[in-house]
Structure formats: C-alpha cells, structure tokens
Amino acid sequence: MTAHLLNRELSWLDFNRRVLALADEPGVPLLERLKFCAICSSNLDEFFQVRVAALKDQVAAGVTQPAPDGLSPQAQLAEIGAAADRFVIAQELVLDGLLEQLAAEGLRIVSWASLSDKDQKSLITQFEELMFPVLTPLAVDPAHPFPYISGLALSLAAMVSDPETGERRFARVKVPNVFPRLVVLPDGNRFVPVEQIIAAQLHRLFVGMVVEEHAVFRVTRNADLTLEDEEADDLLAAVEMELRRRRFGRAVRLEVQQGISDEMLELLVKELDLEMPDVTVHRHPLDLTCLFQLHALNRPKLKDKPWPPVTAGRLQRAEAQDRSIFSVIRERALMVHHPYESFASSVESFIAQAADDPRVRSIKMTLYRAGGDSPIARSLMRAAERGVQVAVLVELKARFDEATNVGWAKALERAGVHVVYGLVGLKIHAKTTLVVRQDDDGLRRYCHIGTGNYNSKTARIYEDVGFLTCDPEVGADVTELFNHLTGYSREVRFQSLLVAPRYMRGQLLDLIEHEMSFGAEGRIMAKLNSLADEEMIEALYRASQAGVRVDLITRGICCLRPQVPGLSENIHVRSILGRYLEHSRVVRFEHGERNGPLFLIGSADWMGRNLNGRVEVSVPVTHPKHQMWLDKALSLNLADDVVRHELDANGVWHRRGPVNFDEGDAQERFHRWVIETQKA
C-alpha cells in the first residue's frame, strides 16, 4: 500500500469531468457540446454498472482490504457517492447554458405544461396511436408483488387511489424505447420528453382511479459478466447464460427527478434494496443520452466541420496502379493512423483482399469488438466459404459487446470459420491478424498489429495506429502467438513482439530501468488510455528520481501522482480530449535501441488487468518515416499551446492552453499536418 497513489475510481470520475468540460468549451460547436454531455451520462452508467457494482459486491462479502491508495471499499463508495452528486449538479449547470444557446438557435426541449392546447392535442393523438397500445401498467398489491425494474430502463412511478374506497396502490409504467425519447412537435424545432406525455395521460391507464402523484425514475444494476473457471469448458454457453442472468443484477443506483415525494422515494429505495446515498436527484430529464437525438439533427453549422479520412499515400498510388495491398507491404512496412487515415482503405481492404485473393492460404485474427455490421467479419466468412482456412479468436467476454460477439461467433462458425472462444482466465485483447499468402518466391506471412479494434464504426471516431508488415521475425512471432492461442503449447520467447501476460511487464520494466542508466539524458514518453498498475508507477517514480524526464499522455485513469518533490518531480501528466477518442497506445524510450529511440505501439494500457490478465501485443516501429510520424503526433500532444488538462501533485486536473478550444485543438492541428503530408 502506497499513499502516493491516486484512487483508480476517483481518477475515472475526474476523467468524466474532463469530458464534461468539453461540453462547456465555447470553441466547440453547440451540438457537439450536447453530444459530450450525453457521453458523460453514458460513461457514468457503465461506471456504476461495473465499478460501483464491484465495490458493492466487496462490501457485501465483508472485504475491508484497502485499495493501493489506502481507501477501503466502503470508503471508496462514500467518496464516489459524494463525487457523483457533485457531477450531476455540474452537468445540469452546463446543460442550463447549452439549452439557452440551443433556444437561441430555434431548438427547444419544452415541458408538457408549457404547451398550447393545440400542441397538446397533437401529442395526445400520437399517444393514442403509437404509445398507449404498448404501455403496461403494473400495480403493486397482495396479488402483484413489486415489479422487476430492468437496468437503465426509464420508468414512471405512480401513486393511485380508488375514489370510492380510498385504497391506495403503487404502480409502475415502463417507458418503452420503441419510440423516440424526445418527441418532436409539428414545427420540427421543439421537443417534449416522452415520459412527460405519458405522465399527462396516466389517467388513461388507470381508468376510474385518481392518480395522486407520479415521478420519473431509473435504476442502474450490476451488469458485470463473471464466469467461473469450471464454466469455461463450454464458454459460449456460459456467456449466453451469464447474459441472461445480467438482466437480474443487483440494483446499485437509483436516479429520480426533482419533486418526488418522500413517501415514493422511500418506497423505491426499500423495494430496490438500496440506501439513500445510492440516490441521485436530477432537475433535468433523466438519462441525458437522449441528447444524441438532437446531435443527429441536420444542422451542419452547429456541428464539427467534417474531416474526411484520407487514404495513405502509398495505398493511393497502389490503387492508381491497380496493385494489391500485399505489394505495398512487400516494399516496406505500412503504418496507418486512424481516423485521419482511412480504416476502410487500409485494414478493411487488407482483410477484403485477403478474402478474395486466390493466393491466400490462411487468415487468422483476434476479434475483440467487431461491432454490429462488420465488413471485416463478412470478409472472413466469404474467405471461409471459398475454402480458405480461417481461424478467428472471438473474445466473448468483451464487456457490453458480449451479445454481439456471441452472434458473430455463431455466424462465423456457420460459414466454416474455425472459431476459438478465448482462454480460461484471460481476455484476448490483442489486435492482430496473420495472412499467409503464396507469393512468387514462396509463402509469405503478412501481419497487422494495431492499437484499436477491428470495428468499422469506432474506427471513424477512435484515434488508433495500425502496423502492416511482412517482416519474417514479426510473422514468426505472430504465428507462434496464434499457435499458442488456438492450440496447446507453452509460449516461446518472441523475437520482436512484446506479449502479455507472460513477458510484457518484465520487458517494459527492463526498458524503464535501462533508461534510468542515462540519468538526466533519459526520456520516456507514453501515450495511454489508463495508467493504474502499481509496479509500473513505482518504476516511473524511480526513473524520475534518477533524473529521467517522463511525459505521460493519459486520456482516462491515472493513479500516478506527478510533480511530488523527491518522488516524481520529473514526471508530467496531461490529458488530451477532443472530437476523436484518443485510443492509441504509443510508448517511446529515448535510448531503447542501440542507435536511437525505441517506439512501441500496441493494445495494452499499463493496468494490472492488461499486463496480468489479458493477451496483449505490442510491436516495435523501426522505420525512420514511421518514427517521424509518431514523433510528430507525440510532439503535438505535448505542445505548450494546445488545450489540455494537466495533473498536479495534489491529484487535481487543471485546464491549460488557449482560452478558445478551436485555437489550440491538437487533433485539428494533426489533421492539417496529415493533409499537408499527403499532398507532399
């Protein structure tokens, strides 16, 4: 236990506040700011579903052992509850300003009570035709127990009385998601929350009764998927069973709208087996992910100017010459930076060409988050159907994508793909593909190793780096990796790759130790999603004490405390956020190679779960042009004149850089540089 570590959960809440800060940046277009407000709500839902749920499980099991920062599970829950309340208040203050600006643009979210008779009649017609037939009131009485409230479902609670007997009953009406959450009025510019329309018509659901009061509420449940090792004999069936169980996870949070009576709130808290600290009270509509609906409006002046991805220059030339992507990779390795450079014309094209190429003998791939409509998965199926040997490691335990991945696993198997469902106790998080092709001079192995998922949708909004090569050493390593994952073998030492969980941690620690030998001339740069592993943090502290300059770009969690005299004064931590989700993992050691710096890209963050409990892969990037590209990306992220948040010794994040976001947008600058580079 070390007091100089920051708490993981509170650090994540700090990250979500930085996302909220984007919703309050005047240099960001209005509808994009609404989008960030919605993202904050979605993020917080997942945090309660998984992280808070896990802490509550620990408390229920009597666990009192503190986290590395010294906080017990119970103390963490208390801190999280207070922080969540502060966050809701801050988010609603930001939304107040956004709604005022939205009104100035002619767009309004309005209440039922503010509508004219004509508008109300229009909505009542919609209610009768579209809503009323699908609503199901559920009353609580001796014959009808308190209904099960599904996680994240929006609900109306009502207290209903019989005017003749005076008998009172509690009832719940679920707000179905089969119609829009924000119902548009005929003018196309005003929107009414659907729950307000239903609430105004509750008397239609309880004919002859008196609806004394109503309130909107929402329950968050434990949604983490846990599998016992003995279940893993049939991992597919185990995951499907666990997905069914997830619906009935324990309640961990109750959201209610301001104005709910004490009586109704106490009833909900009691029936859901919660406590008052588990409740958050909201002035604005619950579940602000409904703001995505406004972001989807066709109002281009209120949105980001599109940045169409470009096709990498070498691929452009190959396409013009009607050459395959394999010929490009044979010339030298190819590095692509998404979404600045197109995922479709690089990685998707690589898999599609492999699927259709008569020279290709086999394709192997890890699939962590394929997404709903996956061109890559369809290419793999097409290859298998024409007789290519295709093997895919589908990670069924990818959180919140389990059901999608189960569906793809079954579809791939039906097409003749050899599907492997991961390893007992490990998630396969590596992003790797191996294509074996019969070239004119013999069999050659073409590999893709990336920092992001093989997901066409997220590749348009996640910043990631991909590396395509036919280097024999890399090919041999990737072959050994797949043989280990699909077969039965002991891992061998890899020649080029860093592979977790067996080797990566030790190799990274050795590289940090080596950099320390150069003292003040040493430098480490690491761009990560999260940094929470205690051993890695302690190694960085030692590097700082040896004089090594350490620059960390951590988008999300950071448990390291920088700028502490005698401990970490040479460590600087910043976070870059923008229209793209910074997702790539890039590490640079100034003296990692005999003749210069070592660059690594890969799938692993520096967290215990990545280094100990997942199969992860990082690959060295050695070509001078690729290193120059990565240096440019890192330097723009580390510039003094870009908008960023910096972490201080007290664990507080501070916004730095130009007052106007659009004057210091690191991503916009890199986009311009990519365009200029491609033109050159």
Positions annotated as catalytic residues are 429
Chain mean position to CA 64: 30
Closest CA to 468 of 674, 314, 587, 676: 314
CA distance 480 to 475: 9
* DSSP string covering 582-632: E--EEEEEEEEETTEEEEEEES--BSHHHHHHEEEEEEEE--HHHHHHHHH
Which letter does DSSP use for residue 117 in this model? Answer: H
Helix axis angle for 375-385 and 349-356, nearest 10°, is 10
Distance CA 626, CA 570 (A): 28
Task: Report the relative pairing of strands 581-582 and 279-282 from DSSP bridges.
Answer: unpaired
**Which neighbouring-strand residues pair with 389?**
362
Q: How far is CA 43 from the centre of its chain?
A: 8
Token look-up 């040997």 returns 389
What angle do helix axes 30-47 and 8-22 make, rounded to 10 degrees?
Answer: 160
Q: Is 30 exposed, middle or buried (0-12, 13-18, 19+ CB in 10 A)?
A: buried
Q: Examine residue 472 and say whether the peptide bond preceding it is cis (omega within 30 degrees of 0).
A: no
* Cβ density class 192-213: b for 16+ within 10 Å, e for less: bbbbbbbbbbbeebbeebebee
Q: How many CB atoms lie within 10 A of CB 380?
A: 32
Q: Which helix (H) or strand (E) holds 157?
A: strand 154-161
Q: Tell me the DSSP string of 643-654.
A: -EEEE-TTS-EE
Nearest to 597 by CA among 606, 587, 607: 587
List the structure tokens of 307: 């940045």
Residues 421 and 409: beta-carbon distance below 8 Å: yes
Distinct helix (H) and strand (E) counts, the chain: 21, 27
Q: What are phi and psi of 91, to 5 degrees?
A: -65, -40
Task: Give phi and psi for 110, each to the nearest 5.
Answer: -115, 160
Q: Which residues of 501-540 are buried (b: 16+ CB within 10 A; e: fewer)?
A: beebbebbeebbeebbeeeeebbbbbbbbbbbbbebbbbb
**Preceding amide of 339 cis, omega within 30:** yes
Reported residue count of the chain is 680
Find residue 443's DSSP bridge partners. Answer: 438
**DSSP string of 574-588, one letter each residue:** EE--SSSEE--EEEE
User: Do residues 536 and 562 lie in contact, with contact meaning Cβ atoms separated by under 8 Å?
Assistant: no
Half-sphere exposure of residue 217: CA atoms within 13 angstroms, side-chain side: 29
